[in-house]
Amino acid sequence: MGLAEKFASTPVRDLNLREMPICDVGATVKEAVEKLQEARVGCAMATEDGKPVGMFTEGLLRESFAQNPGVIDETIAAHMAAPFPKVYLDDTVDMVLAAMQANNTRFICVVDADEQIVGLTGQKGLMEFVAEEFPRQVMVQRIGDTSTTNQREGA
């Protein structure tokens, strides 16, 4: 099966989903930044009464912070993307690709049929998928200025 066919037939649930940090919509930007740092991801979901209402990303932080470094004391409500890009667990991987391009984002929220947050995917998950499914094409590549033999196990 080819790569494009894999994209079109593999459900999102088969990707290595990352845990989505959750912040209350009333949390400050500073609190959200601390959560992102702790989780080592660039995106958090803002919730209100437990329901997802918007997405706060490092890209949105960049735009807001450059305008006014004081935004770190404001709530994330004014600095989040709403509505936010999402896919369902049973959607296929090519829909992640399409959602990333349509929304010009690296982060896509994954929800279940009840609209509950299941995890986070996006560019990283997609690249990992390609590398795992097609190691002959991807994993034999030289990375950086290290010689290939130095990167290979047993070399």
Partner 1 sequence: MAESNQPPIPDDEFADPLENYDAPDYADPLEEALDTRRVSDLQAQPCETISVDTTVADAVKKLATIHHACLLVEEGGRLAGMFTDRDLLDRVVLEYQECRDQPVHTVMIPDPVYVSESDSPAAVLAVMAVSGYRHVPVLDADGMIAGVVSPRRITEFLLEHSPSE
Q: Report the residue from 49, 73, 114, 141 that binds partner 1 according to the rule CB under 8 A.
A: 141
**Smallest separation, CB 49 to partner 1 (Å):** 27
Q: Which is nearer to partner 1, 136 or 154 (CB)?
A: 136
Alpha-carbon span 7 to 5, nearest angstrom? 5
**Smallest separation, CB 151 to partner 1 (Å):** 9
**Between 58-67 and 29-39, two packed helices, what is the crossing angle to 10 degrees?**
140
User: How far are the Cα atoms of 29, 51, 131 from residue 56, in angstroms, in the given order?
Assistant: 9, 15, 28
Q: Which is nearer to partner 1, 14 or 58 (CB)?
A: 58
Q: Is 82 in the site for partner 1 (CB under 8 A)?
A: no
Q: What is the DSSP letter of 12?
A: G
Tokens of 10: 């593999």
User: How far are the Cα atoms of 27, 31, 48, 62 from residue 24, in angstroms, in the given order?
Assistant: 5, 10, 6, 20
Interface residue list for partner 1 (CB under 8 A): 1-5, 7, 30, 33-34, 36-37, 42, 58-59, 61-63, 65-67, 69, 72, 94, 97-98, 100-101, 104, 106, 123-124, 126-128, 130-131, 134, 137-139, 141-145
